[in-house]
Amino acid sequence: MDSSSIFTLLNDRYGETIAKTAVYPRHTGVPNQCQGKGTHSVANSEKVTFYLVIDENNVVERCFFTASASAIAIASSEAICNLTEGIHLNMLHRVVTEDSINSFLDNEIPDSDYLGLLLALEAFNNALLDSITVSREPWKRYYVRTK
């Protein structure tokens, strides 16, 4: 199937917002350096990994993810990336919640597919915990060689 037919299928099932964010995510990939990485997988082989790039003031500069998961998990991961950029680490637990992700996706997630949202949220929380450890122990930051 090509992207347009997948988009049509998802649009009919979930709505336009989820279809757009699941088929055309902007934050996929692995950065060269990251200060926080977290993965979560479930029994049905779905897996999401988040990568946080954090500046020296503990503000999220960029957020990336990789996923082999359902459309809801991919859309939720994209929503999380959009919600986190520019936010201080200490505020992320208040900004990224189940309700905020669902609101970002226009409340289109049906109860039967809510596991995808929880999968993405758990992976993000693991990345957040990893980044908080690095921010509290600055000697653990990734080494960057300068000329």
Q: What is the CATH number of the domain that holds 120?
A: 3.90.1010.10
Cα-based angle 7, 12, 18 (whole degrees, multiple of 5): 55
* Residue 5, in any domain of the structure: no
Torsion of CA 80, 83, 86, 87, to 10 degrees: -90
Average pLDDT over residues 23-38: 92
Asked whether residue 92 is domain-assigned, the answer is yes
Instruction: Write out the H or E segment, with its range, that includes residue 36.
Output: strand 36-41
Task: Tell me whether residue 14 is in a domain.
Answer: no
Q: For residue 4, tell me if it sits in a domain.
A: no
Residue 145 has pLDDT above 90, yes or no: no
Residue 134: predicted pLDDT: 60
Tell whether the model's pLDDT for residue 144 goes beyond 50.
no
- Cβ neighbour number for residue 55 with a 10 Å cutoff: 10
Provide the β-strand partners of residue 62. 53
Query: Per the domain annotation, does 17 fall within a domain?
Result: no
pLDDT above 50 (res 57): yes
53 domain residue, yes or no: yes
Does residue 145 sit within a domain? no
Structural domain boundaries, residue 54: 26-138
Query: Tokens 């208040």 label which residue?
Result: 94
Residue 91 has pLDDT above 70, yes or no: yes
Report pLDDT for 131. Answer: 86
User: What's residue 147's pLDDT?
Assistant: 46
Residue 123 lies in a domain: yes
Q: Distance between alpha carbon 147 and the CA centroid of its chain, in Å?
A: 33
pLDDT surpassing 80 at residue 26: yes
With beta carbons less than 8 A apart as the criterion, state whether 37 and 49 touch.
yes
pLDDT, position 1: 76
Give the pLDDT score at 120: 96
Q: Is the pLDDT of residue 74 over 90?
A: yes
Domain count, the chain: 1
Predicted TM-score (pTM) of this structure: 0.88
